Chains A and B, each alone.
Chain A
Amino acid sequence: MSAVNEAARSDRERLDTFPHLMLHHARVRGEHPATREKDMGIWQTWTWQQVAAETRAMACGLSLLGFKRGDNLAIIGDNRPRLYWAMCAAQMLGGVPVPMYQDAVAQEMSFVLENAEIRFAIVEDQEQVDKMLEIKDNCPQLAHILYDDPRGMRHYNQTFIQSLDEVMEMGRIHDQKQPDLLDTEIHQGGSEDISVMLYTSGTTGKPKGVCVTHAAFIAAARTGCEFDHLSAAEEVLSYLPMAWVGDHLFSYGQALVAGFTINCPESGDTVMTDLREIGPTYYFAPPRVFENLLTQVMIRMEDASNIKRKLFDYFMRVAKRCGAEILDGKPGVPFSDRFNYALGNLLIYGPLRNVLGMSRIRVAYTAGAAIGPDLFRFYRSIGINLKQLYGSTETCAAVCLQPDGEIKFDSVGKPVPGVEVKIAGNGEVLVRSQAMLKGYYKRPDATAESIDGEGYFHTGDAGFFDEDGHLKIIDRAKDVGKLANGAMFAPNYIENKLKFFQFIKEAVAFGHDRNMVCAFINIDMGAVGNWAERRNIAYSGYTDLAAKAEVGQLVLECVEQVNAELVHDGMLADSQVHRFLVLHKELDPDDDELTRTRKVRRGFVSEKYAVLIDALYSGKASQYIETQVKFEDGRTGMVAADLKVYEARTFPVVRKAA
């Protein structure tokens, strides 16, 4: 007995695992809000003390059901408080939480459940329970399914399905009777234990489970917190998929290290409203989210009255000229610009930030994919301290960060303290740090392949350091190719340029080993639809709209503008897009064309649409295609279209005299 007390006392000093961090916050800032969730239209708050108590109850409940050290716990659902707590509950017992993408179809989940030998799953609602039941036959080891939201669950009388409430109630009673049991379990947890397993979405092949220790993830979180001086006073909105390393770092790792408050939105559709209500001080989103926000702003500005539009245009020009410099505190901005900017801040930027829910933001990060320089500049110019970071699941999303005042639009910043970055001979970025994966789950071959003898992790990204020591990422190393004439071809670079246009949602460029670059374009239904309505162009749906000659012309203008920019890009000047077509359907993760994090699966797309690529390179004027599409409920349908191939104007490359 006294030994246990001794252990509990010595544990008070320990901050080296996530459960210890949680108990620490419950002690030092017990009354401080830890988690909020909007429910029934009202923000509900749990303090650190309450969160710790709930988590303990969940851990004890799980333990009563037989969850033990070394077990993996699947967590599937939207960002719900109890799902976040479930991660810590699993860790308290020495288990490993495995958050999974909640929008994946059942078959995709089956791989992870099998691979990770999941016996316990905590899921959000009936929808996810149904998915589990669908694949349960393939995963016989799955023994317990616990659900958070009881709605519609009354008639599920299988004994292995239980409500989380019930389990927590059991746990609560148990914990009151024998609190030492859980304390002992927590005490046994060490910083070198695996804290979480995140499955990489994998643009190629099957997903791999990335195992990260407590020490590594806490190191990553701590570095970030110190770098940006994050304190317990921050507010964040947790709305990104829990299975993404970005969300895990930001809503779990950093929240537990710094002790700040996470806010869970009411539902996926209310994020914009919730963002405005919470006014986060720290914000993290992939470029796509920033892109969508900007598109929405632009659409709404088009609908605004003439005078408002003129004001907006005028002050956005001012902001473009000097906004970013003023934010960085750079000298040399003329007084007239400063005056104009201050006026703009009052009339346009301030209200705009407010509408976006970004009035209180101190630091905002974007990661996950390259962000268009113009998009990036837009946010900074209206006074939002948006920065880029570089990292991957394997490196706990913490390799490079942009320091305040040293923002470059086309770099991802400097290596953070404690991280060594070097560039391999083939241009690949190599990383060595404390905040790294321990290995891939049950894949020693893959682990050996990506971590070399010196302990460097091979990121698979191609990049280089510029003269100021900032890292620039060009593309995935394996995607960087050469045109037939030997010039470098970086598809992502071209695609990103195209995607910055609000009308273009997705682009796929081809050119490796070819004599010219061609591309597929996906239009943005919202922006192009609005544009078409304004011009009285009638359309019946996505396929019809994409096939309109006017839309083709619109995209053509965008492509030619990109070509005009590419001319000035030195080694990429040969990558101008010669021919392109507008796809008849949106690329979709359900059809395996995108990953769950919405990156194009290049190989798959070029195989699936081989006939279209042939049409682009064979000089055909149009091509007929039929494609199968999968709907959200798993049914399939066909879309067919006759796609026109457009020729884009290209610009002569001015070679510098050697």
Chain B
Amino acid sequence: MAQRQSGDVILDLQKISLHFGGVKALTDISFDVREHEIRAIIGPNGAGKSSMLNVINGVYHPQEGTIVFRGKPRHEMDTYQAAKAGIARTFQNIALFKGMSVLDNIMTGRNLKIRSNFLLDAIYWGPAQREEIEHRRKVEEIIDFLEIQHIRKTPVGRLPYGFQKRVELGRALAAEPSILLLDEPMAGMNVEEKQDMCRFILDVNDQFGTTIVLIEHDMGVVMDISDRVVVLDYGKKIGDGTPDEIRNNQDVINAYLGVAH
């Protein structure tokens, strides 16, 4: 595979600490994300990986630390602002509208891009119609990209798990994000589904130039597709580097395999 070109740092997390009451979820974590790279966050269960993603897109507000996003330092993100600024995500537990079709679900990802007002939409006239067609075109591109044409009109609740995950990725892509946060995109998939998903993630990164931050448990996948990996354990950062560096990091090995006391 050709080497990807990573660009400048677009997201820099500095000394982030997050606690819920007395429970420390994240302690003093710093790492950065460069443009166009695939950045993985790994760690044992409860290490704080999902909390980290939630800090990035503003669901959780850290008590300490600074987030520098596109050169602008701030104390915390705001979900709406994050989405507006081009950060999209998928969830560990699928969060789709089960009764709606694949098409409609992905269309919801266009929500922020829709400019026409409610009244015009209601009568589907003029600019509203033109806009809808434009959005539909974009959605169709995503459907084509993810190879889910045959389930375009199927209600999401009837689809197998692997496809639901794909639809969720589709919805995130519909927002045309510059950063895509993926929370365990391959959990619960079989080998073939994982392969497909890996290919889609690499293609998204390659074709749309999207920066990707992902949490994943499958080490094979992580080591294969990511450019840099950050390792968390008990809310602390214990490693950061290329897959090769991580593989040889003694702290990481200890965290995963345990260490004699």
Most buried by B among A40, A151, A154, A266: A40
For B137, give its contact among A40, A266, A269, A270 (CB under 8 Å): A40
Q: Provide the A249-273 mask, 1 if CB < 8 A to any CB of B, else 0.
A: 0000000000000000011011001
In the assembly, what is the distance between CA of A40 and CA of B2, in Å? 29
- Residue B140 lies at the interface, judged by CB distance under 8 Å to chain A: yes
Chain B residues within an 8 Å CB radius of A152 = 199, 203, 206-207
B-side interface mostly = helix
Number of A-B contacts (CB under 8 A): 35
Contact A266 B149 (CB under 8 A): yes
Chain B residues within an 8 Å CB radius of A40 = 137, 140-141, 143-144
Chain B residues within an 8 Å CB radius of A177 = none
- Residue B147 lies at the interface, judged by CB distance under 8 Å to chain A: yes
- Residue B123 lies at the interface, judged by CB distance under 8 Å to chain A: no
Q: Provide the B119-153 mask, 1 if CB < 8 A to any CB of A, else 0.
A: 00000000000000000110011011101011010
Contact B203 A151 (CB under 8 A): yes
In the assembly, what is the distance between CA of A273 and CA of B154, in Å? 12
- Residue B257 lies at the interface, judged by CB distance under 8 Å to chain A: no
Contact B149 A267 (CB under 8 A): yes
In the assembly, what is the distance between CA of A350 and CA of B141, in Å? 35
In the assembly, what is the distance between CA of A150 and CA of B223, in Å? 27
Contact B207 A267 (CB under 8 A): no
Chain B residues within an 8 Å CB radius of A270 = 149-150
- Residue B260 lies at the interface, judged by CB distance under 8 Å to chain A: no
Contact A267 B150 (CB under 8 A): yes
Query: CB-nearest residue of chain A relative to B203?
Result: A152
In the assembly, what is the distance between CA of A266 and CA of B141, in Å? 13
Chain A residues within an 8 Å CB radius of B2 = 155
Residues facing B in A54-96 (CB within 8 A) are none
- Residue B23 lies at the interface, judged by CB distance under 8 Å to chain A: no
- Residue A453 lies at the interface, judged by CB distance under 8 Å to chain B: no
Contact A41 B150 (CB under 8 A): no
Q: Provide the B1-12 mask, 1 if CB < 8 A to any CB of A, else 0.
A: 110000000000
Contact A41 B203 (CB under 8 A): no
Query: CB-nearest residue of chain B relative to A154?
Result: B206
Query: Nearest Cβ in chain B — how far from A419, in angstroms?
Result: 40
Chain A residues within an 8 Å CB radius of B195 = 633
Contact A269 B149 (CB under 8 A): yes
Residues facing A in B165-223 (CB within 8 A) are 195, 199, 203, 206-207
Contact A269 B203 (CB under 8 A): no
For B207, give its contact among A39, A154, A269 (CB under 8 Å): A154
**Size class of the B contact interface (CB-based, 8 Å):** 10 to 19
Chain B residues within an 8 Å CB radius of A269 = 149-150
Most buried by B among A41, A154, A269, A633: A41
* Interface residues of A, count at CB 8 A: 14
**CB-CB under 8 A for A41 and B1, given A152-B203, A154-B206, A154-B207:** no
Query: CB-nearest residue of chain A relative to B140?
Result: A40
Chain A residues within an 8 Å CB radius of B207 = 151-152, 154
Chain B residues within an 8 Å CB radius of A154 = 206-207
Contact A41 B206 (CB under 8 A): no
**CB-CB under 8 A for A155 and B150, given A40-B140, A40-B141, A41-B143:** no
Contact A41 B147 (CB under 8 A): no
Contact B143 A155 (CB under 8 A): no
Chain B residues within an 8 Å CB radius of A273 = 150
In the assembly, what is the distance between CA of A156 and CA of B137, in Å? 28
Query: Nearest Cβ in chain A — how far from B41, in angstroms?
Result: 26
Chain B residues within an 8 Å CB radius of A39 = 144
Query: Nearest Cβ in chain B — how far from A502, in angstroms?
Result: 23
Query: Nearest Cβ in chain A — how far from B58, in angstroms?
Result: 33
Contact A155 B1 (CB under 8 A): yes
In the assembly, what is the distance between CA of A40 and CA of B143, in Å? 8
In the assembly, what is the distance between CA of A195 and CA of B143, in Å? 38
Chain A residues within an 8 Å CB radius of B140 = 40-42
Contact A155 B149 (CB under 8 A): no
Chain B residues within an 8 Å CB radius of A267 = 147, 149-150
In the assembly, what is the distance between CA of A273 and CA of B152, in Å? 11
In the assembly, what is the distance between CA of A351 and CA of B203, in Å? 42
Most buried by A among B144, B150, B195, B199: B150
In the assembly, what is the distance between CA of A154 and CA of B140, in Å? 21
In the assembly, what is the distance between CA of A40 and CA of B150, in Å? 12
Query: Nearest Cβ in chain A — how far from B145, in angstroms?
Result: 8
Q: Provide the A34-47 mask, 1 if CB < 8 A to any CB of B, else 0.
A: 00000111100000
Query: Nearest Cβ in chain B — how far from A10, in angstroms?
Result: 45
In the assembly, what is the distance between CA of A39 and CA of B145, in Å? 12
In the assembly, what is the distance between CA of A633 and CA of B207, in Å? 24
Chain B residues within an 8 Å CB radius of A633 = 195
Most buried by A among B137, B140, B143, B149: B149
In the assembly, what is the distance between CA of A40 and CA of B206, in Å? 21
Query: Nearest Cβ in chain B — how far from A99, in angstroms?
Result: 23
Query: Nearest Cβ in chain A — how far from B191, in angstroms?
Result: 9
Residues facing B in A151-184 (CB within 8 A) are 151-152, 154-155
Chain A residues within an 8 Å CB radius of B143 = 40-41
Query: CB-nearest residue of chain B relative to A271?
Result: B150
Query: Nearest Cβ in chain B — how far from A588, in angstroms?
Result: 16
Chain A residues within an 8 Å CB radius of B149 = 41, 266-267, 269-270
For A41, give its contact among B145, B152, B199 (CB under 8 Å): B152
Query: Nearest Cβ in chain B — how far from A189, in angstroms?
Result: 37
Chain A residues within an 8 Å CB radius of B144 = 39-40
In the assembly, what is the distance between CA of A154 and CA of B207, in Å? 8
Residues facing A in B201-249 (CB within 8 A) are 203, 206-207
Query: Nearest Cβ in chain A — how far from B22, in angstroms?
Result: 46
In the assembly, what is the distance between CA of A267 and CA of B203, in Å? 19
In the assembly, what is the distance between CA of A267 and CA of B199, in Å? 19
In the assembly, what is the distance between CA of A607 and CA of B203, in Å? 44
Query: Nearest Cβ in chain A — how far from B133, in angstroms?
Result: 10
Chain B residues within an 8 Å CB radius of A42 = 140
In the assembly, what is the distance between CA of A353 and CA of B149, in Å? 23
Query: CB-nearest residue of chain B relative to A631?
Result: B192
Query: CB-nearest residue of chain A relative to B199?
Result: A152
Chain A residues within an 8 Å CB radius of B203 = 151-152
Chain A residues within an 8 Å CB radius of B206 = 152, 154-155
Query: CB-nearest residue of chain A relative to B147?
Result: A267
Query: CB-nearest residue of chain A relative to B143?
Result: A41
In the assembly, what is the distance between CA of A564 and CA of B250, in Å? 73
In the assembly, what is the distance between CA of A642 and CA of B94, in Å? 40
Chain A residues within an 8 Å CB radius of B150 = 266-267, 269-270, 273
Chain A residues within an 8 Å CB radius of B1 = 155
Query: Nearest Cβ in chain B — how far from A83, in angstroms?
Result: 18
Query: CB-nearest residue of chain A relative to B144?
Result: A40
In the assembly, what is the distance between CA of A152 and CA of B199, in Å? 9
In the assembly, what is the distance between CA of A267 and CA of B150, in Å? 8
Given contacts A39-B144, A152-B207, 13 further A-B contacts (CB under 8 A): A40-B143, A40-B144, A41-B136, A41-B152, A151-B203, A154-B206, A155-B2, A155-B206, A266-B149, A267-B149, A267-B150, A270-B149, A273-B150
29 contacts between A and B (CB under 8 A): A39-B144, A40-B140, A40-B141, A40-B143, A40-B144, A41-B136, A41-B140, A41-B143, A41-B149, A41-B152, A42-B140, A151-B203, A151-B207, A152-B199, A152-B203, A152-B206, A152-B207, A154-B206, A154-B207, A155-B2, A155-B206, A266-B149, A266-B150, A267-B147, A269-B149, A270-B149, A270-B150, A273-B150, A633-B195
Residues in chain A within 8 A of chain B (CB atoms)? 39-42, 151-152, 154-155, 266-267, 269-270, 273, 633
A-B pairs, 10 with minimum CB distance: A269-B150, A155-B2, A40-B140, A270-B150, A266-B149, A41-B140, A270-B149, A267-B149, A152-B203, A40-B144
